[in-house]
Amino acid sequence: MKIYHEKDIDMGVLEDKTIAVIGYGSQGRAQALNMRDSGLNVIVGVRKDGKSWNIAKNDGMEVTTIEDASKRADIVHVLIPDEVQPKVYEKYIKSGLEDGNTLSFSHGYNIHFKNIIPPKNVNVTMIAPKGPGAMVRRTYKEGFGIPALVAVEVDVTGDALDQALAMGKACGFARAGILRTTFKEETETDLFGEQVVLCGGVTELIKAAFDTLVEAGYQPEIAYFETCHELKLIIDLIYEKGLTGMWKNVSNTAEYGGLTRRERVISQEVRNEMKKILKEIQKGEFAREWALENQVGRPVLKRLREIEKELKIEKVGSKLRKLCGLEK
């Protein structure tokens, strides 16, 4: 795998270019500020007089409408939520694109699933940090950065990769390392990780373990500490030291119990379900389901959010997080 560092990247390719960051949420704000502080010419395109408009103004950014920013920019970097990108693109961005412009993203979702079909005379690139916006900004200000992925879907100018890498360097990503990928690989692996581990799998594992202990008569507060609260300690160890390093930092009892029982929890049946979920992502089934969900007002998501709020683990957890000073 090709990994780019600061010494490999020349930011001169962006010297005379205007970059429009579309959206000023967590990622939009972090990347816009980092690129500006690195000396690039950045403007912000958001809904006029909305909350983000005022935040960007207060940050000293040049702020304008999405339509105006898209017309003025050489590079349009789209950092609004996946589900609203297609409509915003069609209404405000598409008409402003000119020959040799670059349409840039931090997630390949809408390009890969063809929800956005750019004109053939523009570059299509991606620079995707592997961390939330707050961390993108914080690590940059600390003099480092977080790793990122870079991809080029269409290169009409011959320097699309150089542009994307230069944007990544300006954001601080090259201080850690920028890895080459494709829109397909980034999109499918990102969705799979979210659904099977990071958001779906881990929350259901926590819920199931908590419920098992409570149903067996143990105090909910003790169950919460053992199945949820202490998870951060283990994740931090894995993040810093890998799996082997984590095992070295827990007790021999924990190591033996974990290694001998884990495949009973993540059984072959679970692994088979993971493969099914990956197939659903690869075949576009999840993308179509999510598109329909948005078209009808997200009823399933709203219902599931309400169910989640009422879980016993959430009520117990809120009380204990306040006790630990984690929640007001």
| Cα–Cα dist 179/171, whole Å | 14
* Residue 295 annotated in ligand binding: no
* Residue 27 annotated in ligand binding: yes
Q: Over 80: is that where the pLDDT of 308 sits?
A: yes
DSSP letter assigned to residue 43: E
- pLDDT, residue 326, reads 80
* Residue 262 annotated in ligand binding: no
Q: Which domains does the chain have, with CATH numbers?
A: 3-181 (3.40.50.720), 193-324 (no CATH)
Torsion, CA 274, CA 276, CA 280, CA 283, rounded to 10: 120
* Residue 318 annotated in ligand binding: no
> In the structure encoding, which two tokens stand for residue 52, read together?
């983000």
- pLDDT, residue 214, reads 97
What is the residue type of 82? D
pLDDT tens for residues 32-69?
999 999 999 999 999 987 889 999 999 999 999 999 99
> In the structure encoding, which two tokens stand for residue 5, read together?
């560092």
DSSP letter assigned to residue 8: G
**Catalytic-labelled residue, pool 5, 77, 107, 112:** 107
3-state secondary structure of 44: strand
Specify the pairing of strand 123-129 against strand 3-4: unpaired
> In the structure encoding, which two tokens stand for residue 72, read together?
């003025």
* Residue 271 annotated in ligand binding: no
- The closest alpha carbon to 14, from 151, 168, 183, 119, belongs to 168
Is residue 324 very low, low, confident or very high in pLDDT (cuts 50, 70, 90)?
confident
Give catalytic status of residue 77 as yes or no: no
Task: Tell me whether residue 7 is exposed, middle or buried, using C-beta atoms within 10 angstroms of its C-beta: 0 to 12, 13 to 18, 19 or more.
Answer: exposed
β-partners of residue 77 are 21, 104
Q: Which residue blocks in 3-125 are alpha helix, DSSP H?
A: 26-37, 51-58, 66-72, 85-88, 109-112
pTM of the full predicted structure? 0.92
Q: Which residues of 195-221 are buried (b: 16+ CB within 10 A; e: fewer)?
A: bbeeeebeeebbbebbbebbeeeeebe
- pLDDT, residue 300, reads 97
> In the structure encoding, which two tokens stand for residue 314, read together?
């959430």
* Residue 230 annotated in ligand binding: yes
Is residue 328 very low, low, confident or very high in pLDDT (cuts 50, 70, 90)?
confident
Is residue 1 very low, low, confident or very high in pLDDT (cuts 50, 70, 90)?
confident
Torsion, CA 75, CA 79, CA 80, CA 82, rounded to 10: 100
* Residue 47 annotated in ligand binding: yes
Torsion, CA 98, CA 99, CA 104, CA 110, rounded to 10: 80
Q: Which residues of 141-150 are buried (b: 16+ CB within 10 A; e: fewer)?
A: eeeebbbbbb
pLDDT tens for residues 75-88?
999 999 999 999 99
* Residue 242 annotated in ligand binding: no
